[in-house]
Amino acid sequence: MSAQKCAVILILITIPAANLAVAQQWVNPNYDTHRLDYRDLGYPKQNLLPADNSRITALLAHSNGLIYGATSGKTQSYLFLYNRYINKVRPLGQIADAKGIYHCLLEGQEGRIYIGTGMNMLAPVKLTKDFPVEYEGIEKQLWKDICAPYQSFEGGHIYRYNPATGDLHRYTNESPCPLEDLGVPIEGHTIYAMTFNPDKTRIYGVTYPYAHLFIFDIASKRTRDLGEFLTKKVYHGPERHWRTVPRALYCDPNSGCVYTSGDNGWLLRYDPETEKIEMTDMHLPGEYWEGYKSWDYPVVECFETDGAGHVYAGTDDGHLVRLDFENEQVMVLGKPRIMRRMRAMKTGKDGNLYMITGELERVCKLHTYDLSGRDGFTELGVFAVDRSPYYSKRAYQFDAMAVGVDGTVFCGESDRRGKLFIYTPGPAFKGQTNPTNPVVERMRLDTPALIPERL
């Protein structure tokens, strides 16, 4: 064989190796990547949920061992379940004519699922380009633009789904989900957050964009509207085109009091005995209006409890805090990353608190916080799945989380063509929070000569 032919063959062999190194640079160095995978929302060419209606915005770990989820979209919301015994997602049909379900899935008595609906919260707001700024001001016009889609909106419904009977059927994309319509709590409002009272006979809810607190009695199907609990219209963001309204409620199982955040970052309490909304002495950390030209303050994004009964909250500024309701104290545990927003938060079975962080249109990351207080925060990194040559995906937007009975962490992608991401926690690494990934270490850009001969 001539020297020229040998050179050509050498080049052809070298090119794939170089391409392999470049292609693998995005592999996450923070954890064993085989622990992350995802599932499609249905079966391709059969009942795969349409791309524009597949943004996962609510997840629920049910007592029957299954994971239930709901989507938001341009034209339709869907209910689905993940069955751990077959390792697949099964669609459960259309949720009436709803376009959005935002964090509003609850398990009630006898395992029934309660669904709060509304407008698609991820839809862009149509902003007015030309208006008299000197008279109206930007924030006044923004409020008009936010409210415009709600002028003809009937209002979010509360539906009830029975898994014992509904899960037995097979559904197409056109099939209606078998739901019982319990009614519209407040006309013209999206249901933004929900929680039960201790005996699960009443639902407490927050609405958007008008920030009303309501109590819905399940037996009578009647609503008590407690009115708007925020006196100021704030656009603290990070989504500057959303009105800043708390996205979570917490009900104390002992006292029955319901907590959320109010004006200027102070936590509010609704006492069912006095039937009044009271301001507490608990104050959220974050950026406030003093340094801005506009009035700004943080709100609660999510509440969670651990096995010891401690209550945690994540804020839209990205802080994690532990709350002591009895002494009305807030312990600031820090921020897992400099970027704002705590998208979702759940307690794992391994002694860690799992968190999804990141702003809108920025990359979300998965973090943990060691509940023993020993290791603090750990970054698990971006949501990147590599099962090449069969499939691979790097996802950016997430808005929901649930933890299964076996400790598996489920994360709902809220981008177009949303997938259900599945993270399987590994064994604890003693004395080493972030174990080094040797393959990634050998494939760093600054050492291209160390491309492994075998992977």
Residue segments in the chain with a per-residue pLDDT below the cut of 50: 7-25, 429-455
Amino acid at 7: A
pLDDT at 29: 67
Q: Would 411 be classed as within a structural domain?
A: no
Report cis status (omega within 30 of 0) of the bond before 209.
yes
pLDDT at 440: 40
Domain range enclosing 334: 50-353
pLDDT at 1: 53
Structural domains counted in the chain = 1
- The contacts of residue 390 (CB under 8 Å, 6+ apart) are none
Reported as type and span, the H/E element at residue 393 is: strand 391-395
Q: Would 445 be classed as within a structural domain?
A: no
SS (H, E, C) 177-210: CCEEECCCCCCCCEEEEEEECCCCCEEEEEEECC
CATH code for position 238: 2.130.10.10
pLDDT at 295: 78
Q: Would 161 be classed as within a structural domain?
A: yes
Q: Tokens 């707001």 appear where? A: 125
- The contacts of residue 436 (CB under 8 Å, 6+ apart) are 29
Q: Would 370 be classed as within a structural domain?
A: no
Q: Per residue in 346-393, pLDDT tens?
A: 999 999 999 999 998 789 999 999 998 888 999 998 999 988 889 889
- Angstrom distance (rounded) from CA 73 to CA 171: 18
Q: To the nearest whole number, what is the mean pLDDT of the chain? A: 88
Q: Would 168 be classed as within a structural domain?
A: yes
Q: Would 413 be classed as within a structural domain?
A: no
Residue pair 442/452 in contact (Cβ under 8 Å)? The answer is yes
Amino acid at 280: T
Using alpha carbons only, what angle is made at residue 222 by residues 219 and 226, rounded to the nearest 5 degrees? Answer: 130
pTM greater than 0.75 (yes/no): yes
Strand spans (E) along 253-351? 258-261, 266-271, 276-283, 300-305, 311-315, 320-324, 329-334, 342-347
Q: Would 23 be classed as within a structural domain?
A: no
Q: Report the 10 Å Cβ neighbour count for 22.
A: 11
Q: Would 16 be classed as within a structural domain?
A: no
- Angstrom distance (rounded) from CA 368 to CA 148: 39
